Structure formats: C-alpha cells, structure tokens
Structure 1
Amino acid sequence: MERVTLIMTVRERYETTLRSIIETLKTLPPGCKLIFADGATPKYVREQIKPYNKEGVLEAIYFKTRKWPNQIRKRVIGRIKSKYVIFIDNDVIPSEGWIEHLIDCAEVTSAAIVAPLYLIGRDPSTDTIHMAGGRLSYQGLGHTRSLYEEHRLSNSSFSKHAPHLLREEVDFGEHHCLFMRTKFAKTVDVFFDGIYAVHEHIHASLMAKKHGMATYFEPKSVVTYCAYQPLRIQDRKYFVERWDPAKADHSLVKFCEYWHLVDDGHCFEGIRGFVKRHQRMGQILNTEGVVPESRAFVAKIKASDVANSRSELFALAMSLGLTEIERLRIDRCCELSTVFMNGGYRPCGRPFVNHLIGAASILAWHGVSTEIICAGLMHSLLQASPLRGDNEFSKTVAASISRLAPDSAHIVAIYSQWQRRLKRYPYKDPLEVKRIVDGLTVLEAKATIVLAADFLEMCLSGEYLYSRRINEFPDEGFILFLVETLKALEMFQFAQSLIEIRADTARTLRKASPIHCDARNLDQLYSYRYDGATKSPMIALDV
C-alpha cells in the first residue's frame, strides 16, 4: 500500500500541467502515487499526459463537468487509502527530498497538516519566498471578530533567510502544496462545499485546530509556485472563471458564517485585491458597463458609430454605462495622446489624435475592457509621436503611458512591435493560423484587438480610400489572423464586422485609380507633421 498519495488539481491554467507532472514524478520516492484529477479537461492536456497514465506512474481521474479544485479534492479523497495525502497544484515544481521532509515533520510532530516552504517565480531558480507558513490574527470579540491573514517572509530572499528557518507550528499553509494525514482529510467539512474559491486552505487549518490538531511549517521541504508564466488565450476562459470576484465573495461569506466571523471591510482586502487583479489579467469585455440591447441586432459597426472627438467618445462611454472612474481614465489617456500627437496629421488631413479616438470608440462599441480602450487611444504613441527620433523623448512617452495606465502600457508595447510586421502575415492556412492563435498570450490577444480596431477605423473613416495605399492594405493572411483571434475570444460580432468592412473597402479600392507615389503626394500616403511651414512625414512608414 502507498505511504503517500499526491492529488494534483488545476489551479488557474492548463499550460503548466505537463511540466509540473514530469517534475513531480522525478521526485517521488518509493511508496508514492500521483493522481491528476480534473473536470472538463482540454483534449490536448489529456493527450499530453496519456503516456504517463499508460506507464502506471500516474492515475488520471476525469470528471465530465468543470469543478473547483476544492470540490475535486472532496470527491477524490474518499478513494485514498495511504496514510498521508499531498494536495498539489499543477503549476508547482517540487525540489528533491521534499516528500521525505514532510513525512518526517508529520511523524515527529503528529501534525494534521504540514506546509512546505513556498518559493515564487518563473522556475525553481528563483530566490523569492512566497510564504514560510501563515499567521492569523483576530480583531474584535465574540461574534464581532474579524480574521486577518499574513504570509510570513513574503517576497523575502530565500538565500538570506534559509539558514535561519525552523520547523515550527503555524496557523495555515496553502493549497499550492499541502500535506495532510488522510484520516484528517476525510473528516467532515474539511472540504466544505460553500468554501471553494478562496480561503479553503485557511478553513482546513482551522478545522485541524478545532479537532485539537496542529499545522506545521517544514523549511527543508521546498516547492516553487511558478506564478509568472504568461497567460495564454487557450487558458483565458478558465482563468477568468477561476478568479470570479462574485465566487470569491460567496466563499468569504460562507467562511465567515462557518467560523462566526464578520467582514469588517478591511480583513479581506488582500484576497479581494488579488482576485480582481487576476480577473483583470484575463478580462476582455467590460464587466462594469452594459451594451445597449439595440446593439445585439446590429450586424456590424458603421462609420456613423465612430467617434471623431473627445466629447463623442465621452458620450459613447456614458451610453455604455462605464463608471465615472473609467470615464476619467479614458479622458486622461485621451489628453496624453493629444499632448504627444500635437502637430501630427493623418494622410487625409485630420489631426492624428482623431484616428486614435476613432479606434478607441470602435473598441468601446464592441464592449471591451477599459484597459483595451485606453490602449486604443495610445496605440501609436511609441511609433508616431512627432518627436519620435529623440530617444529621451521616446522614453518620456513610454514612462508617461506606464504611469497613467500600466495595464494598457503592456498592450501598447506589443502593438508597437507587431503592427508593421503583421500587415504582411505569412500564414494563409486556417489550421496553421488557429494553432498560432491558440498559442498567443492574452496580452498579445489584446494587442491584436487593438490592431483590428486600428484597421477598421482607417476603413470607416475613408482614410484608405483617400490615400489609396493599395500596397499598405493588409492582405488576407493578416485579416485571417485578426478574425481567428477575435473568434477565439468569442467576439463574433467584431470578427464579422472586420470581414465585411474589409471586403467593402477592398472593392472600393479596386475601383479607384491609385495615386502615383512620388515626392509631390507624400502627404496623401503618410501621416505628417509641420515644423514651422515645413511639412514632412511623421515616420518613414505610416502607422
């Protein structure tokens, strides 16, 4: 009979599963077994781990429907016959000897739960401590008590503190990796149905304490929580579901009810902030506003829907129900773009900032998040600012974007790298394009949405028709890439608008006679600026 059984569940994404399984299997001593348990597992993950399943070193348990990690633990624990069980996430890489040290701690201390030392980083080479055991503190008395949590030595140096860390009793560990006595893990309510999204690890240690048992920290057992892997588009939907603020709040309510605690408005600030930050990482659509019902019956966006001024963009934001804070953020980004693009004009003669406002309004019309709208407002700042040739000024632009809208700054940076390269996209095969789209990070997908809005704005504003830049018109491969990305994000209306408007514009361009490209009509081919009375292109190639 196995001495220890490991149950691996999916924390927030699937991409890390295979690596975690391989690295965990390398460290298993004799008498240990690894189970991977999940619901609604993607086909590619099943295929990846199938060879290990066949070899008998891994048992895979699949449920037909999506379940929370704690719900899966509850359903699997009844099958476990070993003396000990380890619950481990699929984005954790353990170090050599970690299991032996956990067992030794449990045997010596009789602890119900043992937490290893958690490091955090991209891989085990990290020197950053995530947590060296947790501490709980109470404020208030009786049924008015509130519970506060603390991660000991969070973000501290491992190399600096490792020699001084001791095996000791703590208040809780985390489900990144948590060792339990199987008999205790089978106790009623250790995996309570109502507490499933957050604080389930604290609940487990409180249950141990309720039964007169302890939670210990074992510093010689070291695991790395690989938290900084980029979120990819194929994992985005599960990631957003996993960090749903409403589900987190529900778990916190049930947690307070179970332990007779009160939410004083401050005790859960840390976990709520964590959940909201993670939600924002995968968020594409704006969850604060509302899309008018009439919009659902509109096949595609029209030129008359595109804003041409800050006031029109503000009115659109109002109609969509964006909050005052979101509207203020958009207005400030608009102001920044106006400052840095001052003196710049599009090929059709309109101020450059009008194009940015138009692109932002297309994004808002399709209901995307505020960070993407703001990225649309600033998407050309790193490339087309009138003083782009000045390196110090370019640094000032980048710093200003990061300071004003840090989430949007990453999207703008990716857009700036991709914009010119993707206009001549080399892939035409739909299957190949879909494979590439599946591998995109969410930030890259957000930059792709901005690319789509940029293209639509130039079509709907008549800019392509005026300049007749047939050689600058994106080819079918580029459009296929945009469409497949939008479809992967379930933005089907946006994708359809792109297909139809691109086709309409292409037909119009074919009928129009192209303007001969020479020094006399550069103003119709490229964005330009004035230095006094002298007119010159803003950059060598138009953006």
Structure 2
Amino acid sequence: MHSYAQTNLQLFNQLSDSGYSKSELTLLYNTYQLVMELFTGGFRSSGKTFIAHLVGTASILASLGASGKVVAAGLLHAAYTNGDFGDGKKGIDNAKREKIRLVLGEEVEEYIARYTALKWNEKTISAVGDRFDSLSAIERDVLLIRLTNELEEYLDLGILYCGELKYQRYINHSCDLMVEMAEKLGFPSLAKQLATVFQQTTLAEIPNELRNQSGENVSFTIAPNSYRKKLSLVWYPWFLSQLRRWRSIPRRAIRAIGKTNLSSQTNY
C-alpha cells in the first residue's frame, strides 16, 4: 500500500517533486494556513489529528495527478462540517463561504461547498452510482475527493479505532460501488487501493482497549488548557466584592435605579 503524507512538510515535498506550478504551490500553502486556523485541536474519532487526515486526503489526490485546485479542496474538504470559524457553529453559511473565497477563490470554495452538500451513506452512494453517467465535470471532481477521503479514513485500519463499529456504516454493496466509481472516474489505482482497505478492514481485528472508549463516533476538539477561559486570579477578589455589594442592595432600590435610568434617557 502506498504511503501518503501526514504532515504539511511531507505534502509540500510531494507537491514540489510532482511538478505542481508556482501558482498551485502558493494556493496550497495558503490552504494549509486556513487548515491550521480552522482545525487547531481537532481530532478524528479514532484519536488521529484532523489535520493529518486532511493532509493525507490531499496527498492521495496529488498522487493521482489531480489539479492544484482539487488538491486544495481536498486539503480543506471538511471546513464547513468540522472547521472552527470562531462562531461556535457547525455547518455552511454565507460568511464562512466568503472567508474561504477571499483566500482560495470561488472555484476551490465551490468544490468544498459541493462536497459538504454531498451526503454519504448507503442510500446516497447508490443514488450517485445510478446517475454516474450524467455527472458534470465538477461533480466528478467532488466525487473523487469523497473517494480519497474514504481511502484515507480506512488506511492503517483507522476506521476500526473510531469506536463502536463505525466501519459498518456501509454494507459490502456500497463498498463495491465506491470501487466501481473510482474505476469509472479513470483511477484504477484508487479503485484497487479502496478494494484492498475495505477487505483488510473486514478481516482485521484490533484490541478493544485501543478503540475509542468515549462511545462517540464523531470528530471532536480539545483546546489547550492555557486557552480555556478562566477567571483571572487578579480579578477574582474584585468580582466577589462586587457580587457581595450588589447582593446587599435591596431589590426595590435596584428597581428604582433602573426606572431612574430609563426616565433620564433622551429620545432621538
């Protein structure tokens, strides 16, 4: 099985050696800057860092000779589903899309948005297979990103470490369809690797002690201890004194103060 990049340095070396243009290398460098911003502290349910998964997906795409824009989209494919934009919300919205467009351009952002919209389960995989011949060029590129994501997920038996049988989300027929899709897209090496990892996963056994013990089968974030919000020890005594002060004031006095403030406001 081919060994793919798991760090930015390995990926950058691969891209440089593969002959990607200067403009493509700049695009991919800028993409990785966003990856660091959006996935700091992010982990897959297996415990693998989310950044390693993203880099691995991009590395697979680069090995297949995908364009720089498709590799960039693969490197940031989970931005809207798992990226931390600082608003505490998951999912896609106009503000997030604009942020990606400003850095990476409309075409790369469109790939990521379409990837987000492409739901992936037994039913939808079958539906994509049924209409494969009618897929547009961009839909085929997005499907390629999806298939490389699956390969990266299964490499090193990663899916088995995710928790309570996450790998059984697809029946054998769906795995066969993914292999068939890779063939139809014109990537027989990808098809072969998918078939191999699916078979290896089916036959492999790992100690239960090494599986995700949380019971969750989703990705998660762990913030460094120094970044968790804590009440400063310097301000804590002041906060307590203010709390005692307000508790000592009768409620009727607080209401009177509020009424006075309201009546003194000027209307514009």
Q: What TM-score comes out, normalization by structure 2 length?
A: 0.72
* Residues 37-96 of structure 1: per-residue CA shift (max 9 Å, x gap): xxxxxxxxxxxxxxxxxxxxxxxxxxxxxxxxxxxxxxxxxxxxxxxxxxxxxxxxxxxx
Q: 2:193 aligns with which of 497, 506, 526?
A: 497
Q: 1:436 aligns with which of 131, 138, 141?
A: 131
Q: CA deviation at 1:530?
A: 2.5
* Aligned 8 A contact 1:306 1:362 in 2: yes
Counterpart check, 1:485 vs 2:181? yes
* Aligned partner letter, 1:365: S
* Aligned partner letter, 1:319: D
Q: Which residue in 1 is equivalent to 2:238? A: none
* Aligned 8 A contact 1:449 1:482 in 2: no
* Residues 134-193 of structure 1: per-residue CA shift (max 9 Å, x gap): xxxxxxxxxxxxxxxxxxxxxxxxxxxxxxxxxxxxxxxxxxxxxxxxxxxxxxxxxxxx
* Long gaps (5+) in structure 1: 1-300, 534-543
Q: 2:65 aligns to what SS in structure 1?
A: coil
* Aligned 8 A contact 2:46 2:163 in 1: no
* Long gaps (5+) in structure 2: 226-268
Q: Aligned partners of 1:522 and 1:477: how far apart in 2? A: 27
* Aligned 8 A contact 1:340 1:397 in 2: no
Q: Which runs of 4+ in 1 moved over 6 A?
A: none
**Residues 102-501 of structure 1 correspond to what in structure 2 (within 5 A)?**
301-302=1-2, 305-386=3-84, 387=86, 389-390=88-89, 395-403=94-102, 404-418=104-118, 421-425=119-123, 435-473=130-168, 474-501=170-197
Q: Aligned partners of 2:11 and 2:22: how far apart in 1? A: 14
Q: CA deviation at 1:383?
A: 0.5
Q: Aligned partners of 1:483 and 1:332: how far apart in 2? A: 32
Q: Aligned partners of 1:413 and 1:369: how far apart in 2? A: 18
Q: CA deviation at 1:416?
A: 0.8
* Aligned 8 A contact 1:371 1:405 in 2: no
Q: Which has the larger radius of gyration?
A: 1
Q: Which has the higher strand share?
A: 1
Among all aligned residue pairs of Structure 1 and Structure 2, give the percentage whose two residues are the same amino acid: 21
Q: 2:222 aligns to what SS in structure 1?
A: strand
Q: Which has the higher helix share?
A: 2
Q: 1:521 aligns to what SS in structure 2?
A: coil
* Residues 216-267 of structure 1: per-residue CA shift (max 9 Å, x gap): xxxxxxxxxxxxxxxxxxxxxxxxxxxxxxxxxxxxxxxxxxxxxxxxxxxx
Q: 2:198 aligns to what SS in structure 1?
A: helix
Q: Aligned partners of 1:493 and 1:351: how far apart in 2? A: 26
Q: CA deviation at 1:513?
A: 6.1
Q: What TM-score comes out, normalization by structure 1 length?
A: 0.37
Q: Aligned partners of 1:335 and 1:360: how far apart in 2? A: 14
* Aligned 8 A contact 2:54 2:76 in 1: yes
In 2 relative to 1, CA 507–370 (structure 1 residues): closer, same or farther, beyond 3 Å? same
Q: Which residue in 1 is equivalent to 2:219? A: 527
In 2 relative to 1, CA 427–307 (structure 1 residues): closer, same or farther, beyond 3 Å? closer
* Aligned 8 A contact 2:41 2:224 in 1: no
Q: Which residue in 2 is equivalent to 1:80? A: none
| Greater relative contact order structure (CA < 8 Å, 6+ sep) | 2
